Amino acid sequence: MKQTNIQWTDSTVNFWTGCKKVSEGCKYCYMYRIKDRQGKIGSFVKRVSDYSFYEPLSWEEPMLIFTCSMSDFFIEEADPWRKDAWDVIRKTPQHKWQILTKRPERIKDCLPDDWGNGWDNVWLGVSVENQKHLSRAVILADIPAKVKFISAEPLLEEIDFLAELNGSRIIDSYHWVILGGESGNEYGEFRYRPSEISWYEKAINDLHMHTSVAVFVKQLGSHLKKTMKLRHYHGGDLKEWPTNLQFQEFPISDKELEIK
């Protein structure tokens, strides 16, 4: 049951909302845009209501769930609530919880005691907007998880996903890469930064030719929507893209996902 327009997931669950900006990718974060429209402060981290917090316990149909889309699961301010969030995740093994963070240095200290080699229903990912922040992927590479992924959205520059550290490729610890251009307005507080077709082409070619990593192109972003005269408002309709960009792969099969 699809409950969100985010192409690579089925639903979003926020145990808390609000976040603090930590890098270039945060500059025009959509969470701040939404909070601004609501007349709220985006940097104020607040636990959601009990109803919203525990609602996933009643969802029987298996789903992919993007976790804390309006915050960061590992943000310091959420430390008092995270144990209860892990308990909800533990009690819903039918779902796949996709946890994406810009704070991988906090993951180890925030994992539950029974994490072991990772829970079958949890995917751990890091946001990597440019080459510099591929360093986040280095940190997550050393943490056990059944599925590890990288979200390169907003894609702010060409990234070499085949980069090595101490003779080993960072990407070899990963199963999935999401690519996406930034969406936003032409003017005002919440704008967008450009991305180039060649950045996507290089990433897709490198990953498909030299790794077994699944590639999911989410959107081309507002800049390419304008320059390519695409109809979709943030370049998110793959049917409008060049065929060599039309990839929306998942790291495991539909059968393994148990998507109905």
**How many Cβ atoms are within 10 Å of 188's Cβ, its own excluded?**
8
Domain that holds residue 85: 11-257
Question: Is a pLDDT exceeding 80 seen at residue 83?
Answer: yes
Do the domain assignments include residue 3?
A: no
DSSP code per residue over 2-15 = ---S-TT-SEEE-S
Do the domain assignments include residue 2?
A: no
pLDDT in tens, 36-65: 889 999 999 999 999 999 999 999 999 999
Roughly how many angstroms between the first and final C-alpha of the chain, as a whole number?
8
Phi, psi of 150 (to 5 degrees): -120, 130
Q: Using CA atoms, how far apart are residues 255 and 64, in angstroms rounded to an integer? A: 13
Total number of domains constituting the chain = 1
Do the domain assignments include residue 5?
A: no
pTM: 0.95
Do the domain assignments include residue 238?
A: yes
Q: List CB contacts of 244: < 8 A, sequence separation 6 or more.
A: 201, 204
Do the domain assignments include residue 4?
A: no
Do the domain assignments include residue 141?
A: yes
Question: Is a pLDDT exceeding 70 seen at residue 259?
Answer: no
Do the domain assignments include residue 221?
A: yes
Among the listed residues 11, 6, 7, 99, the one whose alpha carbon sits nearest the alpha carbon of residue 61: 11
pLDDT of residue 255: 47
pLDDT of residue 93: 98
The residue-averaged pLDDT of 209-228 equals 98
Do the domain assignments include residue 105?
A: yes
